[in-house]
Structure 1
Amino acid sequence: MRTSPVGSRRMSTTATDKISQAASRRSPYRVVQRVILPLEADSDSIPLYVDAGTTSVDPRTDAARAQGTAGPAVTGETVQSSDFRGRFSTVVRPGSRMSFATYFNAFPASYWRRWTTVGSVRLEVTVSGNGTLIVYRSNAKGAQQRVESLAFEGRTPHVFDLPLTPFGDGGWYWFDIVGGVEGALLEGAHWAVPDAGGKRGRASIAITTFNRPDYCLRTIETVCGADTVREILDDLLVIDQGTQNVADEEGYPEVAARLGDRLRIVRQGNIGGSGGFSRGMYEAVRAGRSDYVILLDDDIVLEPESLTRLVAFADFARRPTLVGGHMFDMYNRTVLHTFGETVDPWRFQPRPAHEDMELGHDFARSNLRTTPWLHRRADVDYNGWWMTLIPTEVIREIGLSLPLFIKWDDAEYSLRAAKAGYPTVSLPGAGLWHIAWGDKDDLVGWQAYFHERNRVIATLLHSLYDRGGRVLRESSYMDVKHLISMQYYSEQGRLTALRDVLAGPDRLHELLGTRLAEIRSLATEYSDAQFRPDLDAFPAPQRHKPRNKGRGVHQPARIALAPWAAKTVLRQTLRPVAEGAAERPQTFIAHQDARWWRLAQYDSAIVSNAEGTAASWYRRDPRQLRAMLAEAMGLHRRLLTEWPRLRRSYQDAAPRLASFEAWEDTFRRHAV
């Protein structure tokens, strides 16, 4: 480790950045992560970029927070956005401490140590004024360790060469600046790695969109405004599957003129995320220029620096690697939705990469330094296609997505890639903002069909167990939950899904353009799928005696769950609907309270949706319940009996279904 001056002339942030980029192309070091500040100075996401005050990592913090007893993460110091001097520079006030132990600015050393050929990282920091510069690292348990501390006076650029050897299981590097009596100015900083003539990959970006032209145009504008992204960009492909087109948005002609022939709009019918992303992969591979395709969802807010970090990491990967970014909550910018996911092999459901993870972690409440689990490396099975880089050589070998429309296409693709020897990495420091799943409920409604069908298909293809582990048992439990919750529309979709699985893989491409419309057309037959924005559109709830003598409804204990469920099914199957319940609801239930064991206690209820924009009327129908329950039991029996045959059938068909030839035919049939 050493410290050395690299110049003395004061430069503007823009000039410094351009010289840094040029130098990185000539020098034996390549900049892989610049220290950045928010694109918007007043952004709610400031804690993801800059932190303040002193703190220490306490392994007890997570437990205290879970019990609601954890105090503030740091001292009373706060970051003031008025101190920012652009994208790369900020003032550090006299006597205050500014820490870059943050999601976007700390260096995820353990990921570079595990997945790349890199053995060390160089930190270059240019500061002026006076104060102290301190470099830290952490281990996998989150313990903070001081690496180097030095005082500076005047304009003093410094270089620190830091080994990656200690980061086998986890850990980060970062630095803090403490302002002296005059304060200090961070002029710029970056992390660079040794690069003796290494790979300089280029990428195509593929955005799949359906009737979100405003979001999509904003992403295009963000890419267009990022110099470093344009340097690696071959094509920006917009796969537009909607009726409200991006090219018709105000402002599109200007951004199209700036990007020129690198911006391509591809119109096709709506064949879902798998159809849109497959088209993006297909176009990029056929063009033959790009080393990578970066898949982006349409309804996002993008941190453009993430894209260059994905490419840099992939360039140094030991083998071709899928590299994904994390997803933050668009409406609560400091909340990380998930840090890394695996597929539970027994249940074949997504789960956190390790048991310590806190879903929906808020960096505004607990920063990187005070959250031990964030320091442990998370090795994943897949990354969501809100942002994922895929090497084109992987696509050439294993094909495109399976024709699943939506749900499980991203997980299935990574599982398939892993079988071929290509891992997936969810890279900290590469992230975007997206509507969080908590603001949706896609397990009910038309999406229930795709959840059920595609989970079973992915299990048939990749399960380690002869009969798919626990999948069919859990699937039958879900049928019961939907039915006793009076969610008959969702259950009809699930039954259709199981029938389609049993019909075999040959119709999957054919169903891409038709099944969604067929499922949605059934909504008119079920009151639980007919939404009204105004509660006054429904009859007022009838007065009734409170449940359990006013004590309310409670979830049955685990030990009593099976007999309780059996009793509830029997009651709902045989007992007539309560008098008047068909004409007037018995209660109103807010979405967050609409748990299956609560809904099961009523014959009629108005239930709001997850978005809070509308509500629908759930009504118990014993005849409907009996018919659907009987069919569900029969379909699950067939699946269990025919599983070995179906497994062979889907595994044999998968390469053909994912082939360029099969998708070319589908693209032709859905041309616009």
Structure 2
Amino acid sequence: MSSEIKMQVLQRVILPADDQLDTTALYVDAGPANGIRLRENDEFARNPKSTEEKLHFVSSGGEEVHFEDVLSRSSVRLRAGEQLSFGTYFNAFPASYWRRWTDLQMVRLVVRTTGHGTVTVYKSNARGTLQRVDGARVEGAAVTEFELSLKPFGDGGWYWFDLASSREELTLDSAEWQGAEREGNPGKVTLEITTMNKPDFCLNNARILSEHPEVLEHVQEILIVDQGTQKVAEQPGFAEVKSVLGDKLRIINQANLGGSGGFSRGMYEAVENGSDYALLLDDDVVIEPESIARLLTFSDHCRKPTIVGGHMFDLYSRSVLHTFGEVVDPYRFVPAMPHADMEMRHDFSVANLRQTPWLHRRVDVDYNGWWLCMIPTEIIREIGLSLPVFIKWDDAEYGLRAREAGFATVSLPGAAVWHVSWIDKDDLVGWQAYFHGRNRLITTLIYSPYKKGGRVIRESFQADVKHLVSMQYFTEHSRLDALKDLFLGPAHLHGNLATKLGEINALKSDYPDAEMRENVDDFPAPALGRGPSGLNPIGLPNKKDLVKWGVTTVARQLVKKPAAESAERPQGFLAHRDNRWFRLAHYDSVVVSNADGTAASWYKRDPDKLKSMLAEAGKLHANLYRQWEELSEQYRKALPEITSMEAWKKTFGLADEEGH
């Protein structure tokens, strides 16, 4: 690479913050390229006293690396005879993504060290095969550079480097991956956080941002769209954060319009204030702040406007990557993994990047979750804002809409947040079932390439049956409402955006399965031996027996009346992990805990509700089958209008304000 070419930083090498010890495996890895991984020592795991406590890792030579040797966010010390690898999630360079989506042909690795040792550069291919590329001995204060081609990375692969100290210690002062500077100025970003009564999370992220001014250099505005009653601006500590961020921080208070309403407001404001990008960020996350700079730099270098998002790690198990990329299964219209060899919830503390071949294949996606997603305002101006669906499927639908307009989405490794994972939620049950059911069908109506939406109608009805035999009548009421509203056509979407949640929640008092109690002792104690199967677990029926099982189970629940005592006391308690339809179907009365373990509700079998709701579900799905083409045409034609700036402007209450 010619020295005359002006270079810019593409990705800085970073180290974990003092309060993020459990994420160390994502930043630095002990041992050589064959992948001996970092491990917490047992004593520390049992008794983590403070950030000053030593954290030990096994290295290739049997020596120990201490967390206290991490000197700053960019610097770490290696004691004599030790080795560290930066072939990790946050510090390896995702070469195949830069090769695929940008014009960049070469990168330069610049490593600044003090002391004695070696720097060795490695690469991988799409199969996860590891190869040594180059190396150099270093002594004293040294700046070592490597010119590296992106040509071999058509289907996958990463670059990274290892450090090894010799007889004396070696310090990494800093390192970075550089590329040819693009023409023009860096893009301007509006960073928008949508929040609803999670002010502590929201304020914490604002505080993290205030502590990392280097990543905010090109952030024009940090916008918090506060849709709750517990206001962020009223929280202790807000004034301190505000004093640091100054005019860069702005809060908009608006009615609760859900995620789609909050994020649309951020997208709208980004267009209005002249930003080049809207960066959408969930409120209940912890962000790796360096992700902001990485998303912006990558987006600026993309050959054409591209939606660029980050990955999601588990907030409560921080070395666990929840998913590496998502697509929509076009026949079933459910989120799916792009490749069969991918695994959900990969734990980097168990198997590092170098030990995991599937992580080296580039993953091309249909959409990126809006927990961390950067959207060029050029795309927003062309295809509009979010579908007005409150929550669920808004991010997936937007990715599909962008793709139809010729704009790709990239989930970029090395940019991420920590977020509550789906295993700690059950959003298919309760009030969210309305939005899941309706919005999946709307998205299918608009985009499905298959006649009658493939398997979606059948699976929707099957879901109704499962909820009904599980005694989840409140959930089923919400799903039936969703189907009814679907037939109202696209005009209802903006109309009920601010009111539907209240309507759904008003029904909770009519359904015992919707009434949550924090203490299970508030329920009557179950009678001994009243459960349907004693201590024997109830398993999933064989696939070939499902139809027969379903008919038999529904018939039994319709004909056989619940025992009288089941209305007075439950037959048992079920932990959330055992809350499966094929188990619940055998009970007449059972107390079930919720996903996060904070409360429980009492499910009671009601043959009359089952009969009426099952009949209604069958009728509505039959109508959906008959009217599919007509509804599909309605929603497709209305999409440009209902997602337009003008339509959302009215919903935001801005249509009559001066200056808009």
Which of the five TM-score ranges fits, normalised by the shorter chain? Answer: over 0.9
Residue of 22, 33, 36 corresponding to 2:14? 36
161, 165, 168: which is aligned to 2:151?
Answer: 165
User: Is 1:501 the counterpart of 2:479 in the alignment?
Assistant: no
Of the three residues 564, 567, 591, the one matched with 1:606 is 591
1:52 aligns with 2:30: yes
- Change in 2 beyond 3 A, CA 1:545/1:444: closer
Report deviation, 1:80: 2.4
- 2:100 alignment counterpart: 114
Which stretch of the first structure deviates more once superposed, 248-257 or 399-408? 248-257
Amino acid at match of 2:283: D
Check whether the contact 2:270–2:276 (CA below 8 A) recurs between aligned residues: no
Whether the 8 Å contact between 1:129 and 1:155 is mirrored in structure 2 is yes
Question: Structure 2 CA distance, aligned partners of 1:261 and 1:153?
Answer: 46
Question: How far does residue 110 in structure 1 lie from its aligned partner after superposition?
Answer: 0.4
CA drift of 1:614 comes to 0.9
Aligned residue runs from structure 1 range 72-471, under 5 A: 79-195=65-181, 197-288=183-274, 290-471=275-456
Counterpart of 1:632 (choices 607, 617, 624) is 617
Residue 229 of structure 1: CA displacement?
2.0
Change (3 A) 1:453 1:268: same
The equivalent of 1:539 in structure 2 is 524
Contact 1:269 1:671 in 2 (8 A): no
Counterpart Cα distance in 2 of 1:516 and 1:182: 64
Indicate if the aligned counterparts of 2:531 and 2:571 stay in contact, CA closer than 8 A. Answer: no
Percentage of identical aligned residues: 55
Aligned residue identity for 1:395: I
How far, CA to CA, are the matches of 2:491 and 2:99 in structure 1?
43
SS in 1 for 2:25: helix
| Matched position secondary structure for 2:652 | helix
2:497 to 512, 528, 538: 512
Q: Which runs of 5+ in 1 are unaligned?
A: 5-25, 59-71
Q: Distance in 2 between matches of 1:557 and 1:343?
A: 27
- For residues 59 and 340 of structure 2, the distance between their equivalents in structure 1, rounded to whole angstroms, comes to 25
- Per-residue CA deviations over 1:511-549 (Å, capped at 9, x if unaligned) read 101100101111111111111111111111012266557
**What's the CA shift for 1:252?**
1.6
- Whole-angstrom distance in 2 between the partners of 1:142 and 1:78: 27
Instruction: Tell me the alpha carbon deviations over residues 141-165 of structure 1, each in whole angstroms, 9 at most, x when there is no partner.
Output: 1111000122222122111110001
Q: Is the 8 A contact 1:573 1:622 kept in 2?
A: yes
| One-letter amino acid of the structure 1 residue matched with residue 116 of structure 2 | N
- Counterpart of 1:141 in structure 2: which amino acid? R
Q: Distance in 2 between matches of 1:164 and 1:452?
A: 44
Aligned amino acid, residue 159 of structure 2 = Y
For residue 197 of structure 1, give the secondary structure of its aligned residue in structure 2.
coil
Report the alpha carbon displacement of residue 416 of structure 1 after superposing the two structures with TM: 0.5
CA distance in 2, matches of 1:335, 1:431: 12
Instruction: Kindly indicate whether the alpha-carbon contact (under 8 Å) linking 1:55 and 1:74 is maintained by their aligned counterparts in 2.
Output: no
Asked if the contact 1:268/1:670 (under 8 Å) is kept, the reply is no
| Alpha-carbon separation, structure 2, partners of 1:624 and 1:324 | 44
The aligned counterpart of 1:13 is none
Work out the CA distance in 1 between the residues paired with 2:115 and 2:303: 41
Q: Distance in 2 between matches of 1:227 and 1:286?
A: 24
8 A Cα contact 1:327 1:432, kept in partner: yes
User: TM-score of the superposition, structure 2-length normalised?
Assistant: 0.94
- Contact 1:73-1:370 at 8 Å conserved across structures: no
The Cα offsets for residues 468-491 of structure 1, whole Å up to 9 and x where unpaired, read as 111011101100110001111101
**Cα contact 1:57–1:372 (8 A) shared by 2:** no
2:563 to 560, 578, 592: 578
Q: Match for 1:559 among 544, 548, 564?
A: 544
2:41 corresponds to: none
Q: SS where residue 395 of structure 1 aligns?
A: helix
How far residue 220 of structure 1 moved from its aligned partner, in angstroms, is: 1.3
Name the aligned partner's letter for residue 410 of structure 1. Answer: D
Q: Aligned equivalents of 1:663 and 1:404: distance in 2?
A: 12
SS at 1:661 equivalent: helix
What is the CA-CA distance between 1:38 and the residue it aligns to?
Answer: 1.1
Q: Could you say if the C-alpha distance between residues 384 and 78 of structure 1 is closer, same or farther in structure 2, counting changes exceeding 3 Å? A: farther
Which one-letter code corresponds to 2:267 in the other structure? M
Which whole-Å CA distance do the structure 2 matches of 1:582 and 1:203 have between them? 57
Q: Provide the C-alpha distance between the structure 1 equivalents of 2:65 and 2:426, rounded to a whole number of angstroms.
A: 36
| Alignment partner, residue 636 of structure 2 | 651
TM-fit CA distance, 1:230: 2.1
Any gaps of 5 or more consecutive residues in structure 2?
Answer: 37-56
| TM-score where L is the length of structure 1 | 0.92
The answer to which of 330-339 and 196-205 deviates more is 196-205
* CA distance in structure 2 between the aligned counterparts of 1:57 and 1:80, rounded to whole angstroms: 18
SS at match of 2:123: strand
**Contact 2:13/2:174 (<8 A) preserved:** yes
Whole-angstrom distance in 1 between the partners of 2:286 and 2:656: 29
Indicate the SS of the match to 2:466.
helix
Could you say if the C-alpha distance between residues 268 and 110 of structure 1 is closer, same or farther in structure 2, counting changes exceeding 3 Å? same
**1:539 maps to amino acid:** P
Is the 1:135–1:147 contact (alpha carbons within 8 Å) kept by the matching residues of 2? Answer: yes
Contact 1:324 1:383 in 2 (8 A): yes
Quick one: distance in 2 between partners of 1:514 and 1:424? 32
Q: C-alpha distance in 1, partners of 2:188/2:235?
A: 28
How far 1:579 sits from its partner (Å)?
3.7
Q: Distance in 2 between matches of 1:164 and 1:608?
A: 51
